Structure 1
Amino acid sequence: MKKLIFLILIIIFNISIFSITIGLYKAPPIVIDENSGFFNDILKKIADNNNIQLKFVIDSQKNLIEKLRNGEIDAIAPLARTPEREKEFDFNKEPLFFEWAVLYVREGLHLNSILDLKNLKIGVMKTDVFYTGENGIKDIIDDFKIKVNFVELDSYEEIFELLDKKKIDAGVVPRFFGLDEEKFYNVKKTSMIFKSIGGYIMYKKDNNLGKYFDLIDKELRLLKEDNNSYYYKMFNKYFEPVVRKETPEWVKTFIIFGLILIVLIISLSYVYSKLLKVKIKSRTHLLNETLEKLKENYNELKSSRNLIEEIVELSPNPIYIKTVDQKIRFVNTSFAKFLNIEKKDLIGKDLFDIFSGLNNKLLEDSVIEDIEVIQYNKKGYINTFDVIMDGKTYYFKDYKTIINLNNGEKGILVLWMDVTENIEYQKKLEKNNVELEKINEKLFEMINIVNMLGTNIEDLYGYFDYLLKFAIKLSDSADYGSISISRGKEWKFISAVGHDINVLRELKLKSEYMIQTGEELKIFTGEELSNYNNMIFDDEETKNKFFKAIKKTKEIMIATTGISKDRILSFALDIDINSQKSFTENDKLIFKAFINIAKTILSSKMNIDVVKNAYLNFANKLALIAETHDDITGQHIYRVGELSYYIAQKLGLPEDKILEIKEFSPLHDIGKIFIPLEILNKNSRLTDEEFEIMKKHTIYAERLLGNDPYFETALKIALYHHEKYNGGGYPFNLKGNQIPIEAQIVSLVDVYDALRSKRPYKDALSHEEVMKIILNGDDRTSPKDFNPLLLDILKKYSEEIKKIYNTFSD
C-alpha cells in the first residue's frame, strides 16, 4: 500500500512539472550564453520555485522570431513590447529590467549632434526596436530629414566587430551591452541615447502558456518589491561591475598624497591647538547663537514646505512625483480623483501598471521625456496627450521638472494642465471652418465663372459644361439641365447634364423645335413639355431619338434670349420625374444669373473672334513685310507654317496646340520690322556689331505681340526660335526643355527652309543636301542644336517634308 501511494505521488509530481523552451539572443550581461546572464538566472530561480522546467536556446533575434512563428520554441526574451508584435504574440506584464539605446562610433570619429550622422554608415540589428520601432533610430533620422546608410546585422556583437574594423561609422546597441562589451573593442560611446524600453518575454498566444507567465509575473513582482531579494543580488552581480568604473591610478596616487598631507596637517594642528583653544572658546558662544538662528530658519523652512505641500494638495491640476523607473512617490488628491484610485493605493505603484490600456504611447513617450529631463536638466511643458476615462476623452499638457527625493535620488515632478475645453473648442472651430470653406468654395467658383467673362475661352463646350453643372449644384431643386442655341434654321445643343449630349449633338434639329420664351423665364410641367414636343416635331424618327436622349422630367425651367440677329440661346434646368421637389425663388434667381452669364460669354466670344481674326490677318501682313527683305515672294512664312504644323502633328501634341503652331509660326520673324533696312538688305556676311542688332529681332517681337494671352504661343515662337537645344543660342541661352516645344519645332523648320531657299548671298540646296547638313552638322549647324525627337521625325518623314516644301516653293 505504501509503495502504491509513493508511486501516485511521483506521477503527480511529474505531471505538475511544466516545460517551456525560451529562445535567447546574446546581449551581455543580460544574456551571456545558455547558462549565464542576469536574465537566465532570474528566470531559472522563478522556474525552480514553481516546478517549471526551462530550456534555453541561443540564436539571433531574427531566427528566434521565425522559430516562434513555426512553433519550434515557446517564447523569446528579452524583447520590447510593440503594437506590431502584440498583434501576433502575447507578452508577460512585468518587465525584468529597463534599458535604452546608446549610439557608439568608430575610433577617431567625433559627433556633435544627430545631424553629423548625415551620409554615414550606421550598424543596427535587423529586428531591433531600437532600429525600426517607434521613436527608434530610423524614426529619429527621418524626423531630422537626413540621409544615412543603415547596415542591418544579426547581433550586437557584429555591430561592435564592424565598428572595431572601421567598416561602419556608428552603431546602435543597448546601454548594458555597450558598458559590458566596449572594453573589448576600439569603439567610443557618444552622449546620444534614446528610446527607453522594458525587457519582456514574448510568447505564442496560448491560454495555458499564459497562465504560467502570469505566475512568473507574480513571482517577479514579489522579487522586485523586496530590496534584499535574489533579483537585486543578481542585479548587483551582473550590472554593478559594468556600471562601476575602475578607479584610475592617478586617483589612487592623489589619495596617498592626500593622506600624507593630512598627517602633516594634524601634526601642525597639535602644535597650534593650545593657541586655538582660546579662540574656540570665544567663538563657541557665537556658534551657539548661530545654531539658534539656524533652528529658527529650519522651522520657517519646514512651515514653508508644509505650505507648498498644502498648495499642491489643493491644486485642481493632477500632480505626481515619480522615479526614473516609473515608481510613484507622491500624488495629490486631483490625480487620485481623476484615476478614481485611493491615494494610498497609488504610492509605490508602477505607472506602467496604472496606465496600461489607457494610453500605451503616453507611457513610452513619457520614459524618453524623463531621460531628457534628467540628462539635460530640462523643464517646462513637454507634450500634449489624451487619456480616455469612463468613455470620455480628456486632453492634458504635462509640465515636468527635476526634484530631489529624500534619499538623494533624482525624481521627476509632473503637473497635468487640463486643456480639454481648449482642444474641443479648437475641433469645433475646425469643423466650422470646413463648412465655411465649402461655402467659400461655391463663392470662389462663382467668382471664377464671372472672371472668365474677361478671358479668352477657347473650349466653349467645356466652359458651358462647367457653367451648367455649377448652376445645378447651386440650385435647391434641379437634377439636370441643358444649354442650346438656335442659329438660322438649326437648333444645336451645346451642353447637357443628365441627358445624352452625344445623341443630342448629332440630331439634325430645326430651330422651330426649340421652345422660345421671349426673354422671359417660364416653368413647364413634364407633361406640358411632352405634349409640346409631340406636337412640334414633324419628323417621327428624329422625335423618337430626341425623346430617347432626354430624361423624363417633373418640371422644367426654361429661358431664351437673343444674342445676335439670327442666334437665340436656350438655358434649361430640370427636376427628375420621381423628385418631390419644385423650383424655388432661389432657383429662379440663380437661373437668371446663369443665363445672363451664358449670353455674355457667347456674345463676347463672337465679338472677340471677329477682332482676333482681323488682328491675326494684320499680324500676318506685318510678318510678310518683314520677310520680303529676305524672301521676295513671301513663301518662306507659309512654308514654315505648314512644315511646323506637320511636325507638331507627328509629335502628337494636343489639337489646339497644333492649330496654334500652324497659325502663329509664320510670325516667328515679325520683329525684323524694327531692324534697320541696311542690315536686312546687306548681301554679304554681317559684322559682329550688325549681328548683335539682328539678334534683337526676337525681343522686338514683344512690341507687336505684347502680353495678350491669345498671342502667347506666337510670342514664345518669336522669342525662342533661335535658342539651341544644347545651349548657346539667343537671346537667353536656354537649354533642352527650358525652350518651349513650339519654338523648338519652328527652330528646326526655319533652319531647314533657310538652307533650301535661294538668297542674294547664297544658292539653294537640295533636300538631300540639307538633310545631311542637319543630321550630321557642318560649320553652320549641329544636330545637337535640335531636340532628338524632332530630328527623328524629320528623318522618318523626310519624303513628306520634301513634298510640303515643294508645294509652297516658287
Structure 2
Amino acid sequence: MKKFIIILIIIIIPIFSLSITIGLYKAPPIVIDENTGFLNEILNFIAKKNNIPLNFVIDSQVNLIEKLKKGQIDAVAPLGYTDKRALNFYFNKEPVFFEWAVVYTRYNLHLNSLLDLKGLKIGVMKTDIFYEGNNGIKDILNSFKIKAKFIEFNSYSNIFESLNQKKIDAGVVPRFFGLDQEKNYKVNKTSIIFKPIGGFIMYRKDSNLKNIFDIFDKYIINLKENNNSFYYKTFDKYFEPVIREKIPLWLKISTIFGIISASGIIILFYFYSKLLKKKVYKRTESLKNALSELETKITELNNSKKLIEEIVNLSPNPIYIKNIEQKIIFANNALASLLGIKKDDLIGKNLLEIFDNSNKKLLEDSIIEDIEIISDEKKGYVDNFKLLLNDKVLYFKDYKTSITLNNNEKGLLVLWVDITEIIKYQKELEQKNKELLDANKKLEEIINLIYNLEEKNIDIEMYFDYLLKNALKIVKKADYGSISIGKENKWQFLSAVGHNINILKSLPLEKKYMVQTQEKIQIFKNDELKKFNENNFEKNLLKEFFKAVKSTKETMLATAYINKNIILNFSLDIAENSPESFNNEDKKIFQSFINLAKSVLSKKLNVDKVKNAYLNFANKLALIAEAHDDITGQHIYRVGELASFVAKKLNIPDEKILEIREFAPLHDIGKIFVPLEILNKKTRLTDEEFEIMKKHTIYAEKLLGDDPYFETALKIALYHHEKYNGGGYPFNLKGDQIPIEAQIVSLVDVYDALRSNRPYKKAFSHEKTLKIILNGDDRTSPENFNPKLLEILKMYSTDIKDIYNTFSD
C-alpha cells in the first residue's frame, strides 16, 4: 500500500508542481489582453481548480508558434486543428469554443459571394488556419480558380485597420472578433462565411503536458454539460454584448413608460383591493373548473404530440432534428433504417461521428449552410446533395427549417427525400441528349462532305483522303481505313489511313484479290480476312501486302458497283488490341460514307467524260488560233507548262494549277476573228491595225461565253494583256484587279514570244530574254508585271529555261 502511495506521489507531484506557459494572441473577445478575455478566464479557472501554476504570454500567432517550436513556451491557444500541425505538436481533445471565418470589406465595397473576391486585395493573418489551412480562403479560391492578392498581417486588428484605411479591399477574421470589433472601424460585414472549426490548445509533445491538458479536457466537458456553470456565465459575459443587439432607445422609453403606468395601476389596485376580495371567492370556483379543463387539454396535447411522432415515424422519408453542433435531438424510423442504426442510439449522436471521410466535404458544406439558415431564420430551405452510404451513391433533396429547441437553443428540422431514381433518369436523359447532339454533329459533318461535292473540280484522291479521315473521325471506334477501286483487271488504292499507302500503290494488285461484298456491309474478323488473302494472293505478293497493312481486330467493309467495269471498295478497321467492336449504329453511319464515296466516284467519271470533251474542243480551238496566227503549235503547250510551273511556286491550290495548265493555251483564242493580213503583217502595225489586234482579247468571249467550266480560260484570254502598273488593254486594270491566272500567263507569254521567231523578229536567247523582262526595253518594262512573278522568274531561271527547251520545235 505504501509503495502504491509513493508511486502515485511520484506521478502526481511533477504534474502539479509544473508551471506551464500558454501563448495567447489578441482576438477580442476570445483574448483581449494578458488578463482579460473569454479564453483567459476559462483556462485560469480550470488551472486554479487543479492547483496548476499558469502563465500567459501575449504575442502574434506567428511569433508564438515559433516560440513553441523553440521550447520557449509550452502551448499556444486558440488554434484550429490541422494534420500538418499535429505532426509536431499535441492538441487537447475538447474545443474550448466553436468559431468560423467571416469576410469583411472596406466601408464602400459590397460583396455578394466568393466570386466577387476576384482580383481584390485580401487581408489575412499569417499562419491562420482560415488563410492557408485545408478549406481556408486560399484553398477555396484556388478550387474556384479565382485569382486574388493576399496581404499578410500579424493580427486581426491589423486587418481591420488596413480595411479602415482602404489599403486592402477585404479581410478574413473569426466571427467573434468581427462582431466585437466591427463597431470600432469603418468596415462592412459580408454574408461570406466558411470553415467552421473548434478552438483548441496546441502544446509541445510532452507526457507531463499531456496529463495536464487531459485534465483541462475533462473540466471543459463538465463545464459545457452544466448550463449554469462558470463556462456559460463567462460566455454570456463576453459574448452576449456582442451577439445580441442593443436595446433600442424607443424600447427603453416604452419600458419606462410601462413601469410608470404599472405603478399607477398598482395604486389603483390597492384602493379597489377590498372590492376585489369579494369577487375572488366567486372566481376561485370558476378557476378550479378552468384548471381542470386545462389539465384535460394538456393531456390531449401530449396525446397529439405522440400522435405526431407516430405519423413522422410512419413517413418513408428520413426526418430528424439537430442543433448547430450537428447533434441529433430527434430522428424517425426512416433515418434509422437508412443509416442502419437503432433510433434510440441515434439520439445524442453527432453526424460527424456517424458518417465516414467519404462524406466529409458534404458535412463541412452542410455546417456552413446550417449556420446561414439559423442566422437568417430561413424556413423551407431546399438543396440537393449526394451521400455515399454502404458503397452506394444516393441522392436526396434536403428540406431544412430553422426552429427553436426546448432550451431556447436554435436548431434545424430536416427532411430528406430520396431522388436517386430521378437523378438516375436525368443522367440517362443527359446521356441520350449527348448521344443526340453527337448524332447531329455527325450528320452536320456528313452534310458538309456532301456540300463539298459541289466543288466543280474534284481531285478524286484528295477528296477520298478527306472522306476517309472524316469517316474515321465520326466512326470513333475505327482506327484505320482504306478506299480502293477495281478497274478492269487492276486493283488500285486511292487512300489509306494507318496502312502504308505508298507500298499499296506500288504493288501490282489485281481485281481478283479484292474482297467483294455485293453492295452489302460486312464485318470481318482478322483471321477471316487473313484466310481470304492467303487463298487468293500469290505468295510473294502476299508477303509484301502484309508489310503494307496493319493487323486488325475487325474490319467493316463494303463493295459498291460504279459501272460494269469499276467497283469501289471502302473499309474501316479496328486496331488489333482495341476493346471496341462495330455495331449497327456504326453500320448506318458507314453506309452514308459508302453512298458518298460512290456518288463522288460516279460524278468524277461523268465529269471526266465532259471535261475530256471540253479539253479536246479547247485544244482544237487553240491549234486553230495558233495556225491562224502562223505560229508553231509548240507555243501553246509551252505557255501551259510555263504557266503551271509559276503557279506552283505561288502555292496556288492544285485544282487551280490544273486549270491554268489546261486553259493557258487558249489565251489568244480570239485571234480567230482577227484578219490574217493583220496577224501575218511583217512590218509594224498602224494604230488602226493595232486597235483591231487588241480586240482579240474581247473576241474570246464569243467562243468561251459564260460557260462556268471555261471561267478560268476566259479570265486568261480577257486580261493577259493588262499591265500590273496600268496602261494595258482591254480595260486598263492594274495590280490585283487583274486575275492572278492572267498575270501569270501575261509574263510567260512575253517570255515565250521573246524566245520565239516572229514574222517581225528573230528569237532571243534565254539570257537576253531575262535581261529584257527584268530591266525593260522599248517594248516592255518590269513594272508591267507582278514583282512576285519576277522573283520567281529570277529564282527559277534554269527550270524555266529547261521547260522551254523541252517543248521547243
The verdict on a shared fold, with TM-score over 0.5 as the criterion, is yes
Matched-pair contact (CA < 8 Å) for 2:387–2:393: yes
Secondary structure in 1 matching 2:538: helix
1:603 aligns with 2:567: no
Contact 2:320 2:415 (C-alpha < 8 Å) held by counterparts: yes
1:571 Cα offset (Å): 5.2
Q: Is the 8 A contact 2:103 2:189 kept in 1?
A: yes
Asked whether the equivalents of residues 386 and 395 of structure 1 are also in contact (C-alpha less than 8 Å), the reply is: yes
Match 2:463 to one of 453, 460, 464 = 460
Alpha-carbon distance in structure 1 between the residues aligned to 2:581 and 2:363:
59
- For residues 481 and 24 of structure 2, the distance between their equivalents in structure 1, rounded to whole angstroms, comes to 73
Gaps of 5+ in 1: 619-637, 667-703, 719-748, 766-793
Deviation at 1:500, TM superposition (A): 2.3
Separation in structure 2 between the aligned mates of residue 578 and residue 340 of structure 1, nearest angstrom: 46
Superposition deviation, residue 193 in structure 1: 5.1
Report the counterpart of residue 722 of structure 1 in structure 2: none
The CA RMSD over aligned residues, in Å, is 6.7
Please name the residue that 1:800 is paired with: 791
Aligned counterparts, 1:106-255, within 5 A: 106-107=106-107, 122-125=122-125, 130=130, 151=151, 153-184=153-184, 186-190=185-189, 192=191, 194-195=193-194, 197-201=196-200, 217-243=217-243
Q: Which residue of 2 aligns with 1:697?
A: none
Note the alpha carbon deviations across 1:193-237, whole angstroms, 9 max, x for none: 523612244869989799767776555333322334443344244
Residue by residue over 1:646-671, the C-alpha shift from the partner in whole angstroms, topping out at 9 and shown as x without a partner, is 9974xxx9x669969999xx9xxxxx
- Within 5 A, what are the aligned runs for 1:205-354? 217-243=217-243, 256=256, 258-264=258-264, 266-267=266-267, 300-354=300-354
Paired residue type of 1:327: K
Q: Which runs of 5+ in 2 are unaligned?
A: 618-639, 665-705, 736-784, 801-809
Q: Distance in 1 between matches of 2:424 and 2:166?
A: 54
Partners of 2:614 and 2:67 in 1: CA distance: 82
Q: Deviations over 1:34-81 (max 9, x none)?
A: 665433554566678889998877665567778999999997654456
Q: Give, in angstroms, the shift of residue 430 of structure 1.
A: 6.7
Report how far residue 238 of structure 1 moved. Answer: 3.4
TM-score by length of 2: 0.60
* Residues in 2 aligned to 1:195 and 1:362: alpha-carbon distance in whole angstroms: 13
Letter in structure 2 aligned against 1:97: F
Distance in structure 1 (CA, Å) of the matches to 2:655 and 2:20: 76
TM-score norm. by structure 1 comes to: 0.60
Q: Distance in 2 between matches of 1:220 and 1:455?
A: 85
Distance 2:581 2:301 in 1: 82
Of 526, 532, 538, 1:534 maps to 538
The structure-2 alpha-carbon separation of the partners of 1:348 and 1:276, relative to structure 1 and needing over 3 Å to count, comes to same
Matching of residue 509 in structure 1 with residue 537 in structure 2 = no
Deviation sequence 1:386-410 (CA, Å, 0-9, x none): 4444444544333222333334443
**Would you say the 8 A contact 2:385–2:397 is kept in 1?**
yes
Distance across 1 between alignment mates of 2:582 and 2:328: 69
Cα offset, 1:802, TM superposition: 9.7
Match of 2:465, as an amino acid? G
On the 8 A contact 1:525/1:553 being kept in 2, the answer is: no
C-alpha distance in structure 1 between counterparts of 2:242 and 2:350, whole Å: 26
Q: Alpha-carbon deviations, 1:740-762, whole Å to 9, x = none?
A: xxxxxxxxx99x97654458999
Say whether the 8 Å CA contact 1:94–1:217 is kept in structure 2.
Answer: yes
Give the superposition deviation at 1:297: 5.3
Which whole-Å deviations, capped at 9, do the CAs of 1:467-520 have from their partners, x for residues lacking one? 885999889xxx976433356897542234564223223x26376896697979
Alignment partner of 1:359: what SS?
helix
CA offset digits 1:401-450 (Å, max 9, x no partner): 2333334443321222234454456667777888x779969985996699
Matches within 5 A, 1:92-103: 94-103=94-103
Q: Any conservation in 1 of the 2:554–2:573 contact (CA below 8 Å)?
A: yes
Closer, same or farther: CA 373–135 of 1 in aligned 2, 3 Å = farther
Q: Distance in 2 between matches of 1:329 and 1:559?
A: 71
Contact 1:136–1:194 (CA under 8 A) maintained in structure 2: no
**8 Å Cα contact 2:488-2:511 kept in structure 1:** no
- 1:410 is matched with 410
Q: Within the alignment, does 1:485 sit opposite 2:489 as a pair?
A: no
The change in CA–CA distance for 1:573 and 1:77 in structure 2 (over 3 A counts) is same
Aligned partner of residue 14 in structure 1, secondary structure: helix
- Distance in 1 of aligned mates of 2:470 and 2:241: 81
* Alignment partners' CA distance in 2, 1:656 and 1:126: 67
How high is the sequence identity, in percent, across the aligned residues?
Answer: 50
Partners of 2:92 and 2:217 within 8 A in 1:
yes
Return closer, same or farther for 1:266/1:32 CA change in 2, 3 Å cut-off. closer
- The verdict on how the C-alpha distance between 1:267 and 1:589 changes in structure 2, with shifts beyond 3 A counting, is closer
Cα deviations by residue, 1:701-742 (Å, 9 ceiling, x for unpaired): xxx999x9xx9xx9xxx9xxxxxxxxxxxxxxxxxxxxxxxx
Kept in 2: contact 1:493–1:501 (CA 8 A): yes
Aligned equivalents of 2:219, 2:286: Cα separation in 1: 59
Return closer, same or farther for 1:12/1:474 CA change in 2, 3 Å cut-off. closer
Q: Highest Rg: 1 or 2?
A: 2
**Whole-angstrom CA distance in 1 between matches of 2:443 and 2:88:** 51
Distance 1:763 1:453 in 2: 33
The residue number in structure 2 matching 1:631 is: none
- 1:595-651 C-alpha deviation (Å, 9 max, x unpaired): 665433312234356779999999xxxxxxxxxxxxxxxxxxx9xx999979974xx
What is the CA–CA distance in structure 2 between the aligned matches of 1:97 and 1:616, rounded to whole Å?
Answer: 96
The question of whether the paired residues in 1 share the 8 Å contact of 2:125 and 2:154 is answered with yes
